[in-house]
Amino acid sequence: MQSQQPVCPKKATFNGAEGVSNVLEFAKHVFTTPGARKPKHFIYDTACDVRQQVLANKDEFWLLVGMCVDIYHLQNKHKKTHTFCQTHCNLADYPELKSEDGSGWWFNTSIAEQFLPQ
């Protein structure tokens, strides 16, 4: 198995403007710069909103990228009754993201956020 590491390659501050379209454009820019690789999964606090916009706009760049809500946000900030969120953006539905023993995930997005590039 190829070694995989969670990556937060860039950060940006969207003061009062962290809209879904701004996040998508920023991430697309980051992952299309020379030498960058398109991610297989994009984990984000409101990935359910992002995924719905991608589907509405049929953005080819993102269509085959898995989009999951960060587990903390999924469990604490997103409604269990939001069907789209629970059925399309739940980390538990992506076996390749689970740890070897299946008890969790092989990455910790909360820790990854703490090591963002300056």
**Which chain residues interact with Zn ion by CB under 5 A?**
48, 78, 85
Least distance to Zn ion, CB of residue 23, Å: 14
Is the CB of 31 or the CB of 73 nearer to Zn ion? Answer: 73
Cα 75 to Cα 53, 86, 89, 91, distances in angstroms? 22, 10, 12, 11
Is the CB of 48 or the CB of 97 nearer to Zn ion? Answer: 48
Element (H, E) at 109: helix 109-114
CA separation for the pair 43, 113 (Å, rounded) = 11
Residue 78 dihedral angles phi and psi, to the nearest 5°: -110, 140
Least distance to Zn ion, CB of residue 60, Å: 23
Least distance to Zn ion, CB of residue 78, Å: 3
Is the CB of 24 or the CB of 85 nearer to Zn ion? Answer: 85
